[in-house]
Structures are given as structure tokens and as C-alpha cells.
Amino acid sequence: MNIAEVIDHTNIKDEATVEDIKKTCQEAKKYGFRGVCVRPKWVKLVKKELKRTEIKVIVLVDPPIGDSPHQKRIRICQKAKRDGADELDVVCSIPDVKHQRWEKILKDLKEICKILPTKVIIGSGYLTDQEIIKASQIAKKAGAICVKTATEKDPLEHRELKEKFYHLKLMKKGAPGLLIKAAGKIKTLKDIKEALKAGADIIGTSSGVEIIQEFKK
């Protein structure tokens, strides 16, 4: 398989500059990554840089715990669409999950999923096994295309890989038929292979270049 085609090449650093984002896009074109994932302010630039390619422009919405008001989330997603985004990586409201406000979560995500194809980040490092399954079910019910483990600052970043990959299996159980995206300190070819084996379809990583170079060796 072509490892590059499952990687969403990610640059969500607060301190990223125009030149950093352009470099991320050039790397995506060079290696043929699935997509480039950035913060909302960079969507227009990434769209321009990836013109005449099949690489998806992906925007991260409302990190780290998805706790912005609903209307603000909608405005961010609508602007991302106008700016040229192809997909949304939206953080589910972790506080609402912890308080089991499932109807509120469903309503929020349903509206977002109508704007663009949406991957729902459930923040699995914050959740119990049952919450992971339920949040995955809600993402599927809302019309998401994918359920994603984590983004920045998720406690999952600092867990053992076997625990991360156990979460993938729970997500698969909760949302059969949906794509599953693994993220959070996936840095090596071995990490990717194990994630795919555990059920991941897409990998979010900022180490895509290093992983492809390792693969080629």
C-alpha cells in the first residue's frame, strides 16, 4: 500500500508562519499525502498552495476540547468552507460528553456535518471506554464521515501506543462503517502500521515526511 495516501499531513502549531505552512504544503505535494490539516486562518493559503492537486484541505475546528458556543463553531465551519476547505476535523464538546448531554452534542454535530464532510474528534484520552463508544455512535448518527481519536493536549498523547490503538477498536465498535482516524504522537512507520492493523483508515501526524523517508529505506 501507499502509506502517504492515508496520512493527513498536519501543522497546527500556534507559532506556525506563512513559510512554515507553505513548506507543509510543498511536502504534501512531494510525497502525495492524503490531506493537509491546519488551523482556520491558513485555509485560504493552503487552498492556493494545493491548487491543481487532489490533496484535501482540512481545517481543525475548536481545539482542544470543543467547548466554544454552537453558533461560533458554525461560523468557523462556514468560513472554512468559503475559504476552500474540503473537510472539517471538529472537536466534539468534551464537557458535554462528560455530562452525557448527548442530544445537545448530536444537534451541534448534525448542523456542522451538513456544511462539509466532517471528521469528529472525540478526545478519547479524556473518555471512559463507554464514553468512547457512545461518542462514536453520536458522530455516526450526526452524519460524520469519520471518528478521530485526539488532537493537541489530549491526554492520549502521553499514553502507551497499545492504549491508543485499543481506543480505535472501541471507536470501530461504536461506529461500524465509518472511517477511523488515529492521531496523537504517531511518529514512526511502526506506529502507523500498528494503527492501521488496529483499525485506523487515516493517520493524522506532523511526522509524515520522516515516516515516508523511513518507509523508503
Residues classed as catalytic: 89, 148, 181
- Report d(CA 99, CA 173) in Å as an integer: 22
Which uninterrupted H or E stretch holds 166? helix 161-174
- Report d(CA 170, CA 153) in Å as an integer: 21
91: exposed, middle or buried (C-beta count within 10 Å: 0-12, 13-18, 19+)? Answer: buried
- Report d(CA 153, CA 159) in Å as an integer: 12
- Cβ(42)–Cβ(82) under 8 Å? no
DSSP string, 95-146: HHHHTT-HHHHHHHHHHHHTTS-EEEE--GGGS-HHHHHHHHHHHHHHT-SE
| Residue matched to cell numbers 504517531 | 186
CA 57 to chain centroid, in Å, comes to 12
CA 180 to chain centroid, in Å, comes to 9
